Amino acid sequence: MTKTLLLETSIKGPMSVSHKIAQKVIAKVGGDVTVRDCTTIPAIDGTWIGAAYTPAENRTDAQKAALALSDALIAELKAADTVVIGCGVYNFGVTGPLKHWIDMVCRVGETFRYTEAGPEGLAGAKRVIVAYSSGGVPAGSGYDFATPYIKQVLGFIGITDVTVVAAEGVAVDEAAALARADAQIATLAA
């Protein structure tokens, strides 16, 4: 059975449109689902950076503890065949919780490395479906900084199979936005 990782990133929780879309995507693609509530992930800090850039064999117990959550998040990501990202748009970009997850999983030596030819992704090939919702920012428009950012970050760590399912215009007509997203979900392969 395939393994699916669901990233819940909205501070509105189950009331968010991105959550509703992500649940429908999960119902379509299935798999053994691991749910990660990203709203509990803290921001990285100087201690975390110091630990991440210390060679593993030289890390203190405190540094290992500082990286424990990052290690767990990276393991979840690497184990997944499919990743579903709930992505509400806040102020034209990704939510804070999604940014915190990204910062925790983008780690040199773990999900990418630098080579003479440039950066190389190490996260492994997998399918990503972004459950995008916005009050009025169309996905892919000049005002959408969320989906290009997500695609750039995922590409940097080696993940290039990214599909966006969008509920746009939620502030104008949520039912119509959800119907458009449902039509996109219907075309997804299981």
141 is in an annotated binding site: no
- The Cα–Cα gap between 149 and 131 comes to 14
121 is in an annotated binding site: no
CB 158 within 8 Å of CB 121: yes
Task: List, in sequence order, every residue forming a beta bridge with 127; answer none if it has no partner.
Answer: 82, 161
133 is in an annotated binding site: yes
List alpha helices for 34-134, DSSP H.
Answer: 46-52, 61-66, 68-79, 96-105
- The Cα–Cα gap between 12 and 159 comes to 28
- The Cα–Cα gap between 51 and 177 comes to 43
For 9, list phi and psi in degrees, rounded to 5: -125, 5
158 is in an annotated binding site: no
DSSP state of 190: -
136 is in an annotated binding site: yes
Question: Nearest CA to 98 among 133, 68, 62, 66?
Answer: 133
Cα 55 from chain centroid (whole Å): 26
- The Cβ of residue 129 has, within 10 Å, a number of other Cβ atoms equal to 25
Binding residues for FMN: 10, 16-18, 133-136
Binding residues: 10, 16-18, 133-136
